[in-house]
Amino acid sequence: MSECTHDCSTCGESCGERQEPQSLLKEPNSASHIGKVFGVVSGKGGVGKSMVTGQLAVTMKRRGYRVGILDADVTGPSIPRAFGIHEHAGGTDAGMFPCESGTGIEIMSTNLLLEHETDPVIWRGPVISGVVQQFWTDVIWNCDFLFVDMPPGTGDVSLSVFQSIPLDGILIVASPQELVGMVVEKAVKMAEMMEIPIVGLVENMSYITCPDCGKKVYLFGEGKSEEAAARHHLPLLAKMPLDPALAALADEGKIEDFQGGWLDHAADVLEKK
């Protein structure tokens, strides 16, 4: 018998040393009650991923569900500010408790652990990935839908989330600029490589509505996200406008007051998953 090289790809199925790949999925806190888990991702920054995450959470909350947001964008957290949360998260020996928004949405973010919310997070990749995993394993969640607001791109933290958190699917957020095809393709390929189901595509900053005549003006051109969605056989779940009123509400910590129904179809799809 030849000496084992510990490279199972080179041996036969009858090899006694052969081992099946070990799952890297982490168990949530034993006190948690979590229903469906969906990641909100983007291939690049600046496309409004956190805004989409916040609106999705608000939409599902209005439908009567218990909702939580795990803010995995450790170095650029914006979820607490959009929901007007400035206090620190607490905990006991049993685990950490997420903060709650005005309407009862559970939120855990790095900003809720820092001494001052404006302090920068100057941590290396492995530490950041570890913190995100702790948001899953140590926090006591009680929600029907948990949304994971991912950092932009396909780096360490995204990989850590895909490997350690059992996602039921991801939503890809994109803007309609020229690079949207390449940006979407990166996110799609990573999800496929990690065998994560893709729920669909959300186009943000799709248009603005003229305040005088109500006409939609497509600043970056029209139809590009439809082309990207069709190319990857994905449903286009929503086309969200540039809305100054919504941006102002988020800046004031009042995103739960928004009245747009742009993500209603996306919410319908998530309910059926």
| Contacts with 223 (C-beta within 8 Å, 6 or more apart), sequence order | none
Q: What percentage of the chain reaches a pLDDT higher than 90?
A: 48
pLDDT at 273 over 80: yes
The model carries a pTM of: 0.87
Q: Which residue has the higher pLDDT, 222 or 96?
A: 96
pLDDT band at 69 (very low <50, low <70, confident <90, very high): very high
pLDDT digits (tens, 9 = 90+) for 121-174: 666 767 778 888 999 999 999 999 999 999 877 677 788 888 899 999 999 998
Q: Quickly name the fold that domain 28-173+245-271 has.
A: Rossmann fold (3.40.50)
Provide the pLDDT for residue 228: 80
Q: Mean pLDDT over residues 23-30, rounded?
A: 90
pLDDT at 187 over 50: yes
CA distances from 212 to 208, 219, 240, 258 (A): 12, 17, 19, 21
Provide the pLDDT for residue 17: 56
Give the number of residues written for the chain.
273
Provide the pLDDT for residue 1: 43
**Triad 13, 163, 149: Cα angle to 5°:** 160
Name the E strands within the chain.
33-41, 67-71, 90-92, 95-97, 99-100, 106-108, 142-149, 169-174, 198-203, 208-209, 216-217, 236-239
Q: Mean pLDDT over residues 79-86, rounded?
A: 94
Q: Position 64: which residue type?
A: G
pLDDT digits (tens, 9 = 90+) for 229-263: 888 889 999 999 989 899 999 999 999 999 889 99
pLDDT band at 175 (very low <50, low <70, confident <90, very high): confident
pLDDT digits (tens, 9 = 90+) for 198-228: 999 999 988 898 888 888 888 887 767 788 8
Greatest mean pLDDT among 114-118, 219-223, 233-237, 265-269 lies in 265-269
Provide the pLDDT for residue 178: 57
| Contacts with 142 (C-beta within 8 Å, 6 or more apart), sequence order | 32, 33, 66, 68, 106
pLDDT at 62 over 50: yes
pLDDT digits (tens, 9 = 90+) for 2-21: 555 555 555 655 565 555 55
pLDDT at 58 over 50: yes
- Annotated domain spans of the chain: 28-173+245-271
Start-to-end C-alpha separation, the chain: 49
Instruction: Please tell me the distance from the alpha carbon of residue 258 to that of residue 83, in angstroms, as a whole number.
Output: 11
Q: Which residue has the higher pLDDT, 48 or 36?
A: 36
pLDDT digits (tens, 9 = 90+) for 144-153: 999 999 987 7
